[in-house]
Structure 1
Amino acid sequence: MAKATPKTTRKKSKATEISVLKYIKWFWITFASGIFLVMLIFLFASWGYFGEMPGFDDLENPQNDLATQIISSDGKQIGTFFKENRTPVSYEDLSINIVNALVATEDVRYYDHSGIDARGTIRAFAFLGKKGGASTITQQLAKLLFTGTRSKGWQRYTQKIKEWVIATRLERQYTKDEIMAMYLNKYDFLNQAIGVSSASRIYFNKTPKELKKEEAAVLVGMLKNSSLFNPLRRPELVKNRRDVVLSQMAKYDYITVKEKDSLQQLPLSLDYAPEGHSDGIATYFREYVRSWMGNWVKKNPKGEDDEGNTDFYNIYRDGLRINVTIDSRMQKYAEEAVQEHMSNLQKEFDKQELKNKTSPFRDLTKQEVNGIIKRAIRSSARRKKMLSQNKSEEEILKSFDVKTEMKIFSWKGYIDTIMTPRDSILYYKGFLRSGMMSMEPQTGQVKAWVGGVDIKHFQYDHVYQGARQVGSTFKPFVYATAIDQLKLSPCDTLPMSQITIPAGSHGVMEDWTPKNSDAKYTGYLSLKEALAKSVNTISARLMDRIGPEPIVRLAKKSGVESEIIEVASIALGSVDLKLSEMVGAYGTFANEGIYNKPVMITSIEDKNGTTLYQFEPETRDVISKEAAYVTLNLLEGVTQSGSGARLRSGPSNRYDYKNVVTGYPYQFTNPIAGKTGTTQNQSDGWFMGIVPNLCTGVWVGADDRATHFNSTRYGQGATMALPIWALYMRKCYADKTLKVSKDGFKKPEKLTIEVDCKEFRKNIKIEDPIEDEFGL
């Protein structure tokens, strides 16, 4: 028989059993309480006890400032307006390389979880976020969208809880692909590169779809801390971080080890293209678009907001798409042509100024120079800023004589220097400026627009803002009016002798006797010869015969909006006009007498692709097809035998222009209609050039008309402006994708005016034959 268990032992065993049950009970109570507490904490977080939480609408439509894009006619983004330079892209627009790099580096289990990395969250709690949160991509998006900057201490706990709650909501609201795209669109990659689209363009001059593996690795590496891993400031550190990302990609079999080793040997190759408001191409044109949009948004409100107030579009936040007529290739060629010629022309100008005691001005008294400086001070940004700070005029004037650090423009690059603001005014007055505009006559679409040489230091736009004396480039309007009214032929001859317009006739206040530049007044010239040689007396004779009124009427119908006083001197180009007006008006000749108003913006779309604006062409008949064609024939004479003849070969034997213009000889062989213009004292140089599908105008001069070359050797339009046109057109013709025409101008089917001078002379008796130097 077994021995009975002692009573005391049984009591101990029972007590132990009760104690264990008691501990188990309290364990489950504690565990359940912990679970309940955690649930309660997250419930409190979702109720907003730890700070405001996004609602359904916020999750459905996260608020991001989106940059407005300016898209060229060939589909390139040439600029943006932004508070944050963000251009959203969809998942389909991402390279698989950046997707793989992101998952391998930031969240390898991204496609397997529901937005939460429990281990990372526990670590964040344990170390107060000091060792990072190992947050999922979804949590990082939640932080970027809704929880803001990183908190410290205990607030870091509540922030992680909020991120957790938001992340689970985002996972329910969006697909994994959408979340990834949203995250990459939101992140700030620095240097005005907000979002992967801007970052791809700015750092590599590519779209996100075009990123190579090593390039994608650079951007993903920046996600850890873009301030630390800044490619412009710490390239070596960024390269090391890139190599870490490539190692992660190899670790998780997105690339092979051999490929990783090969890619890690590559240098950090950036193609940095900043997108500030003063960076990139077409900067002057973009400022025009900004001004145009400012007027457009006032006239085209969105509607009303919740409070019944008028709600307007914001070009810096609403992500509009502005489709423009500029061709990015032609714009690039235009800017290159301006820079190439102007840098050389400035060298020659500076060389000549060394002997000018009143440099950069000529023919001015000391009092007149002081007047120019005073006007510049009154209109300066420095004075306006100091006035806003309640500074007195005396304090402001004194400040212009205090040396200060500044960055100044030069054709060799920006220079850091110390000078007084007064001296800087004189320094910039010595620079020659330029404007250029190129337009398709048949549509009015502007393809290139160069308003100046550097918008950071010369903000005045010489395409649209500046009106300057046009000189002989106005003469074609005189000839065209005469042809249209009198049916004159290019072969008709007129005497070169001087003519006097008496006082009281054609708006003349006193007797006016124009002179020819070469002081020759004997013999006869055909109209074609006269325009080619820009003979003033023959232009005056035509004006005297038809009067200034119809000439002004023709110019106005051709799009000139600037004031033109109806006086005889307009025959020689005494009027001030804008370059944009001149190009539009000359386009009338190339478009068979029909004026097309220059158009720069074709349409505007909102961020969803809805069209908000569509341009409507503005056209009108100006002159007959016949008169337009005959005028073009006259203008062809300028490039065949007149001041534009250097387009056909090298420079004249009389002068050596090679120290001014690179690229001679130009050797164009195709039909070109053109006209040079040179104003008094060589203050303004013009060239207007036309081929059948492109009309381009160029102006060169200085800010003040007292700044100019000393002689017509360098100060004429053929030297100052024509080379820019030639360089630009050579580049355009070299790019076969542009299809710029080399054909002849379209001839009207029923041409009653004879343009073939050999045929013309068979049918006319010349009483006073003259030597035909031009073979007409």
Structure 2
Amino acid sequence: MKRLFSSFLAALDKGLTLANPLFAKAAWHLRHPTRRTFAWGLAALPVLFVLYVLLLIPFTPSIGDIRKAKIEQPAQILSADGKLLAEFKPSNREWVKLKDISPNVVNALIATEDHRFYQHFGLDWRRTASAALHTFSGDRQGGSTITQQLARNLYPDEIGRAPTLTRKLKEAITALKIEAFYTKDEILETYLNTVPFLYNAYGIEMAARTYFDKSASELNVLEAATLTGMLKGNAYYNPVLNPERALQRRNTVLAQLVKYGKLTPAQYDGLARKPLRLDFERQIEPPGPAPHFTQQLRKWLVAWADRNDYNIYSDGLVVRTTIDSRLQTMATQAVTLQGNQLQNIANSAWGTRAGCSADKDLLRTFLRETPDFRAARDTGLSDDDALKHLLADRKLVQSVCDTKTRVQADFLAMDPRTGEIKAWVGSRDFGVDPFDHVQQARRQPGSTFKPFVYAAAIEAGAKPDDKLPDNPVQIELAGGELWKPNDEDEPSGRMISLRDALAYSRNRITAQVMESVGPNRVAKLARAMGVRDSQLDPVPSLALGTSPVTLKEMVSAYSTIANLGGYVEPLMVTRIEDRNGNLLAEFSPATPRRELPADAARTLVDVMRDVVSRGTGASIRTRFGVRGDVAGKTGTTQGNADGWFILMQPQLVAGAWVGFNDSRVTLRSDYWGQGAHSALPIVGDFFQRAQRSRLVDSHMKFDTAQQPGWFAERAERLRNWIESLFARTPAQPDKQVVARAPARRAPVAPPASAVAAPAASEAAGASAVQGEVREMPPLLPAPGSEAAPTTPPGNTVDGETHGGGAAALAPTPTPDDVVPPDARAQGGEGSNNGSGAN
């Protein structure tokens, strides 16, 4: 091997020695060319040029790309009932056929940009040579044909825009390819639909709407000349900012029309003296009926398309979603109606017309957080002087006040059996509030989190009729701090069942249940049931909803309850097709995963029925007339910063949240700030519309009948058989084994309070309901004998009453406030805000 390597080096050295004279001779001839050498050099230049062109061909758009551009179509997003929700366009453009474009536009374009358009095959050699001569003489001119310009517009990345020979050659090669696959009319149509016109207007149709408020088919000669004139330089000849230049350029285009016989000199004289007469308005791409949903869907679809080698902007994909356009319309209307009503209340409470005059201190805090304040400080002003400067700017103050006090609301509905999302409203107005509160906003859920606490207790063996004393609760936290949750009324020592505690959202009872089952167990169960993206802090106050979550997570988790313990992942898309209807992908609902035992889920649904039958959510029936088998939960957080309501029905679960982007801003009303009066009307209005339209079957019922176990069923049969043997009367047929379910109370007037309610609450007309005091299982602490009531236990109509928490914790949410006597008499939600002590 060593010998072979030595031989190779020797041969290489010999070769270089022989080559050196040849290189030296070639260099001498280059420095002293002969006529023969010069002739060979001239002959080699075209060959080298052709070789260079051939090398560039692979770096230009392929034949496949050219064909694809000819039939480019954006993805269409369709609802489950076949309605168009959106089109994913790369720009604000609406494609129109050439026959639907005014002939004035075509004439002006050809006369100005490429008058031999119908005679060449992509390159106009005469014009190119003329442009080159003018450029060499110092008067730079463009020689690109319409086809070459189209090549630049369609493939800016592949061709580029640098003024180099390489770019011009790529452009020419691509133009020849386009001419091979496009007809002349197709080239004109494609060009006019892809050329930019500023202000996010692409194509002649959007340009006509933007500058003249009309369709491209209606453009007259002057308007067509104005738009055509912009093609030489959009910014320079912008008719909005540079009207004089645009007018001169328009008249130049008119002169070209005269030159090529499309106008007479007399017509030109009359037209050239007329002003521009713009009717300018920026064109905003229509958001569609479900803009927040399609915004989230776009992210998912882009990832899917990348994995499967598709382009959502050009491959003509047809995406069939789970959204029902009719339910979507109803949800949007409900959010808009309630949002506007609450906005009027907020405007009055905050004095928005006078720049948040109702709370000047908070307004000053808002102003200190603005970039304007920081800019004023950077100029050397003190804090006080900078603030005075901003307060003097009425326009700024009003803008900050309007932004901070704008009521926000969102809504989501999904089928609990399949996870299909049926309606998605991320804000009151997508144009004003594009932020998606359904999936992106995390807020404290308040009492809507309580069902997970009771679900954990029921799973561990608790029964709805188990009772706990309404005594003061004091829970020691890590670090020695104490958490003391409160309700609006003082502790009474009376017994309250778990059923009533959830129906009327009693904080002290819920805290005792949480202490019994443990925060870790509740957090784990809530995550399993659907709260899977947000962080849940396993602390005692989690029972009252202190960990922020999204509405999508909460509706998904409630769907697990409605699906009797089976979690199904939310689904947005059912199938994707190509432009010809061929199936590309199909997405079926996921198989339900058992996260809560079916018996526990049945019991929980039955308990949550009482919330809307006689508890804090009763107005869902009395005010909105929602029929059928429904269950739900209200929620309100500390200071009424967040209002929640989620309603479950066997085929649809719907939830709403109401609040402000800044939690320091509230409706400042102990009545309107409750979830029962802010969020519940959105869900109630939606369900009322859906039932009237028969899109929701009010006859469907939850399957909550408890199924007896194998041993219990056979024991019952044995008992019946023994009784039949020793009966004095003739044996009766075996009785049907009836599923044992928790006792239900009829939706009549709310029962009397089990606590010492304030006089105002007592005057609400609550009636007492007798109830058996059941011995508590080991799961829950047995009530002390001193707490046992001497009068029949009952329930309170005062509804949800939340207390505060330890100072180390996040602010403890407070549920829904007390309903005025007139509303309570109608079965409306009632709750009191309470504050806790450390």
2:614 corresponds, among 641, 651, 655, to: 641
Whether contact under 8 Å (2:102, 2:219) holds in the other structure is: no
Partner of 2:701: 745
CA contact (8 A) 1:682 1:709 kept: yes
Please say if residues 644 and 655 of structure 2, whose CA atoms lie closer than 8 Å, have aligned partners that are also in contact. Answer: yes
Instruction: Note the alpha carbon deviations across 1:474-522, whole angstroms, 9 max, x for none.
Output: 1111222222332624xx2525x42345544x87955555433344736
Matches within 5 A, 1:351-362: 351-354=348-351
What amino acid is aligned across from residue 395 of structure 2 in structure 1? I
Amino acid at match of 1:565: D
Amino acid aligned to 1:340:
L
Q: Aligned with 1:584: secondary structure? A: helix
Of 627, 647, 663, the residue aligned with 2:600 is 627
Give the Cα separation in 2 of the matches to 1:291 and 1:432. Answer: 27
d(CA) in 2 for partners of 1:683, 1:314: 43
Q: Secondary structure in 2 aligned to 1:549?
A: helix
1:46-445 aligned at under 5 Å gives the runs: 58=61, 60=63, 61-62=65-66, 69=75, 71-74=77-80, 75-78=83-86, 80=88, 82=90, 84-85=91-92, 170=178, 172-174=180-182, 182-183=190-191, 185-186=193-194, 192=200, 194=202, 274-275=284-285, 279-289=287-297, 296=303, 325-354=322-351, 374=368, 376-377=369-370, 418-419=395-396, 424-445=399-420
Q: Which residue of structure 2 aligns with residue 766 of structure 1?
A: 772
Answer yes or no: is the 8 Å Cα contact 1:360–1:426 preserved in 2.
no
TM-score, normalised on structure 2? Answer: 0.56
Is the CA contact 2:603–2:704 (under 8 Å) kept in the aligned structure 1?
Answer: no
SS of 2:440's equivalent in the other structure is coil
1:620 Cα shift?
Answer: 2.3
Partner of residue 536 from structure 1, selected from 503, 507, 512: 507
Please name the residue that 1:574 is paired with: 546
Aligned-pair distance for 1:591?
1.7
Does 2:687 correspond to 1:690? Answer: no
| Inter-partner Cα distance in structure 1 for 2:508 and 2:407 | 31
What are the superposed Cα offsets for residues 606-660 of structure 1, whole Å, 9 maximum, x if unpaired? 999995996984852111233223322222222222222222233xxxxxxxxxx
State whether residues 634 and 676 of structure 2, in contact with CA within 8 Å, keep that contact through their aligned partners in structure 1.
Answer: yes
Q: 2:439 matched to which residue of 1?
A: 464
Give the match for residue 681 of structure 1: 639
Q: Do the aligned residues in 1 keep the contact of 2:153 with 2:195 (CA within 8 Å)?
A: yes
The alpha carbon displacement at 1:595 in A equals: 1.2
Task: Give the CA deviation at 1:683.
Answer: 1.6
1:499 aligns with 2:476: no
Question: Are 1:192 and 1:275, in contact at CA under 8 Å, matched by a contact in 2?
Answer: no
Instruction: Identify the match of residue 680 of structure 2 among 715, 722, 733.
Output: 722
Name 1:132's counterpart in structure 2. Answer: none
Q: State how far apart, in whole Å, the 2-side matches of 1:676 and 1:103 are.
A: 63
Q: Which residue of 2 aligns with 1:557?
A: 528
Q: Identity of paired residues, percent?
A: 30
Offset of 1:589 from its aligned partner? 1.1
Instruction: Indicate whether 1:593 and 2:565 are aligned.
Output: yes
Decide whether aligned partners of structure 1 residues 566 and 357 sit closer, same or farther in structure 2, where only a CA change above 3 A counts: farther
Residues 33-85 of structure 1 deviation map (CA, whole Å, 9 limit, x = unaligned):
xxxxxxxxxx9xx99999x9999964833496979646243452425363x34
SS of the equivalent of 1:577 reads coil
Letter in 2 for 1:584: S
How much does 1:582 deviate?
Answer: 1.0
Alpha-carbon distance in 2 for matches of 1:114, 1:513: 87
> How many angstroms apart in 2 are the aligned matches of 1:95 and 1:523?
81
The equivalent residue for 1:584 is 556
Question: Is the 8 Å Cα contact of residues 470 and 494 (structure 2) preserved in structure 1?
Answer: no
Q: Distance in 2 between matches of 1:670 and 1:449?
A: 23
User: Judging changes above 3 Å, is the alpha-carbon distance between structure 1 residues 399 and 329 closer, same or farther for their aligned structure 2 residues?
Assistant: farther
Return closer, same or farther for 1:188/1:212 CA change in 2, 3 Å cut-off. closer
Mapped contact 1:68–1:317 kept (Cα < 8 A): yes
Q: Is the 8 A contact 1:439 1:695 kept in 2?
A: yes
Counterparts of 1:1-80 in structure 2 under 5 Å? Answer: 58=61, 60=63, 61-62=65-66, 69=75, 71-74=77-80, 75-78=83-86, 80=88
Two-structure CA RMSD over aligned residues (Å): 6.7
Is the Cα–Cα contact under 8 Å of residues 68 and 322 in structure 1 kept in the other structure? no
Shift of residue 400 of structure 1? 7.4
Separation in 1, partners of 2:576, 2:587: 7
**Aligned AA (2:411):** M
Letter in 1 for 2:412: M
Q: Residue in 2 aligned with 1:447?
A: 422
CA contact (8 A) 1:473 1:675 kept: yes
Q: Give the Å deviation of 1:352.
A: 2.4
Q: Deviations over 1:393-448 (max 9, x none)?
A: 9699899769899xxxxxxxxxx98326xx64454223332232222222323333
Change in Cα spacing, 1:550 to 1:142, as seen in structure 2 (3 Å) is: closer
Q: Which range moves more in the overlay, 764-773 or 586-595?
A: 764-773
Which of 498, 509, 518 in structure 2 is aligned with 1:547? 518
Give 2:687's aligned amino acid.
M
Counterpart CA distance in 1 for 2:501 and 2:441 is 29
- 1:555 positional shift: 0.3
